[in-house]
Structure 1
């Protein structure tokens, strides 16, 4: 069985907002998407045959989580681990994702994708993405549309027939040269024009961006040129901790070491500071009020996954692997691996070829090893989404 079957593909269009990732990869004929299919098919061929059908079904429904599991399987397989899929446990019907073994060492590995989005947020985003796809059907031969602001006012999917008709009628009132002249004289593009539409379901306004002469009137060019941006305060550490909490005791008391792998792919980009804060506790600064001797010190608050104000936590978890991996950055995915200093069962991290952080004499130390691209042996020239 192949994850993506061999067939003739002719679709060169970019993905729609509402597209299922698997369906898009399966139908698209762009060279970069073919490269994705080839590498995922290669990895899929290494997955146990009796588990391939179930994983393929999950790819079709839950692309991100299935991709994460296939990525982890290939990552540890290339490090020389033997891997059992969904090993049975004696005390529960629940099964971890993997049982890994190497040189007599065994440990369970559980995968979890962290998006930081509630079901309510996901539902809103789905309605918004469906609306974006509808707006990209607007006929606008001379202008790209920038979305200045947008609000969905109801819990149902808004109808777009009246909206599209109104915007197309408004576009006929604007001359390209006039807008270009206004842009030259102004410092703020968004203040030049404002096409506004509001009904009981949606409130939206656009500004106009003249298309270059070479593409004016051409068909097949999507009219939405700029989407609204959003500002976030803080990092992704709370989302990571929430995801870890959901997995920490999922299988009760285990008889072997337990490693949790979180792929953090929310809208707030995860970096090393977020990962460290989630595991070790938030970084804080203390200093003396003596102006002649500030004695500045950097410490960790007791609000980490391994240790908080209640004391040592989650000793049944032997370690945590946090990644920021998606289709566009597989070859240089960032990762952060942590060894629990007070785990009930220790993993010999020397058997793992990934860099990791641990505690030595009450100090956080990092042991440098390989990058993901070195282990997966992927080409540097990957893809550019």
Structure 2
């Protein structure tokens, strides 16, 4: 009988490494919250068809997020009393969608996709930075946590962590936490000294921030306490729109309703705003030039996935389910179903029972459905 995680003794209570494979961390952690999550995923996995478990576990080990989302969707539709068929055959192509769900007379094809707002190059760069952070976390700095004030990677090369660590280790040994605490008391946080290192590949500035005396003897503590502030402009609606387009066109015309399910793991923007913008169109405000009656109205531009200035599109698609679910927020995850108003494969929306948006008399309506904590019978504070 296949299990998702190993039956082993666990004694590691720390956080994951910056570049650690998520499956490996969930498999080795003894933390209470991780144990609760692992037990739930194992329970879901136990209900997965036996002949599909080996392949799903391999995908968990290789690429955790898409595998988790498929297991989440499988469990969600089972809880909503659907029969779920994995990788069903299609009449017109050898390609197979992720699921076919069935309830009463309703049958719907389901395709799942994780949406990330970072390009392949950006993700590769992030892995490079995370590897550097993993090395810097091993710096021995009793009495301090390191604030990474500036980090500028100049080339595509992986920076030499040893030279950086040796330099910071040498410099930080010249400071005492009590002395810097006194300086902060007198002059504020600007008094914290800077440790700077620069070569042709990298420029980094760190600050040794003193910790309270009772925390100075904690063993195995990580060196980094604060990371550079990341700022960005804009959201993730374009990435979501592109993913919906690609998935909707993958199978051509189908003989049954078809839903694409998108899990937004993007770090930018708001799930609610970006989902509405991608599906219905860019949100805008218009008003009259009459100063006596501005008649301010809000609406959507004709640039969504369902409708553009050229007319309805992706009519083989019945709807889009958008979520932002992680293993840690399952009962509280944001989610909504969007019904395609011009679909050629309409179905009874009430069978899905999830919160939904749809059009009626030319206006977008919202229906409150079952919450995830209600569906899964998991308390909202389940990890406390």
The alignment's TM-score, normalised by the length of structure 1, stands at 0.96
Displacement of 1:190: 5.6
- In 2, Cα distance between equivalents of 1:337 and 1:190: 49
1:181 aligns with: 182
Asked if 1:352 is matched to 2:352, the reply is yes
1:306 aligns with: 306
1:281 aligns with: 281
**Which structure 2 residues correspond to residues 202-217 of structure 1 after superposition, within 5 A?**
202-217=202-217
2:51 aligns with: 50
Name the SS for the 2:247 alignment partner.
Answer: helix
**Which structure 2 residues correspond to residues 1-385 of structure 1 after superposition, within 5 A?**
1-187=2-188, 189=189, 192-383=192-383
| Residue deviations 1:325-359 (CA, integer Å, cap 9, x gap) | 00111111110110000001012111011011100
Range 29-38 or range 130-139, more displaced: 29-38
Q: Taking structure 1 as reference, are residues 309 and 47 closer, same or farther at Cα in structure 2, changes over 3 Å only?
A: same
Contact 1:148 1:190 in 2 (8 A): no
Contact 1:307 1:313 in 2 (8 A): yes
Name the SS for the 2:67 alignment partner.
Answer: helix
Name the SS for the 1:357 alignment partner.
Answer: strand
- In 1, Cα distance between equivalents of 2:146 and 2:190: 10
Name the SS for the 1:214 alignment partner.
Answer: helix
- In 2, Cα distance between equivalents of 1:191 and 1:329: 40
| Residue deviations 1:264-290 (CA, integer Å, cap 9, x gap) | 011114331221111111111111222
Contact 2:264 2:271 in 1 (8 A): no
Contact 1:264 1:270 in 2 (8 A): no
Contact 1:270 1:324 in 2 (8 A): no
Name the SS for the 1:99 alignment partner.
Answer: strand
| Runs (5+) with no aligned partner, structure 2 | none
Range 172-181 or range 243-252, more displaced: 172-181
Displacement of 1:153: 2.0
Displacement of 1:184: 2.3
- In 1, Cα distance between equivalents of 2:271 and 2:94: 36
Name the SS for the 1:242 alignment partner.
Answer: helix
Contact 2:184 2:190 in 1 (8 A): no
- In 1, Cα distance between equivalents of 2:142 and 2:175: 12
Displacement of 1:223: 1.0
- In 2, Cα distance between equivalents of 1:290 and 1:252: 48
Name the SS for the 2:214 alignment partner.
Answer: coil
Displacement of 1:175: 2.8
- In 2, Cα distance between equivalents of 1:269 and 1:186: 37
Name the SS for the 1:38 alignment partner.
Answer: helix
- In 2, Cα distance between equivalents of 1:75 and 1:319: 17
- In 1, Cα distance between equivalents of 2:319 and 2:161: 49
Q: CA RMSD in A?
A: 1.4
Name the SS for the 1:274 alignment partner.
Answer: helix
Displacement of 1:233: 1.1
Range 167-176 or range 362-371, more displaced: 167-176
How many residues are paired up? 383
Displacement of 1:252: 1.7
- In 1, Cα distance between equivalents of 2:78 and 2:239: 28
Name the SS for the 2:148 alignment partner.
Answer: strand
- In 2, Cα distance between equivalents of 1:177 and 1:32: 35
| Runs (5+) with no aligned partner, structure 1 | none
- In 2, Cα distance between equivalents of 1:80 and 1:266: 30
Q: Taking structure 1 as reference, are residues 250 and 8 closer, same or farther at Cα in structure 2, changes over 3 Å only?
A: same
Displacement of 1:226: 0.1
Displacement of 1:16: 0.5
The alignment's TM-score, normalised by the length of structure 2, stands at 0.97
Displacement of 1:178: 2.9
Contact 1:151 1:203 in 2 (8 A): yes
Range 248-257 or range 314-323, more displaced: 248-257
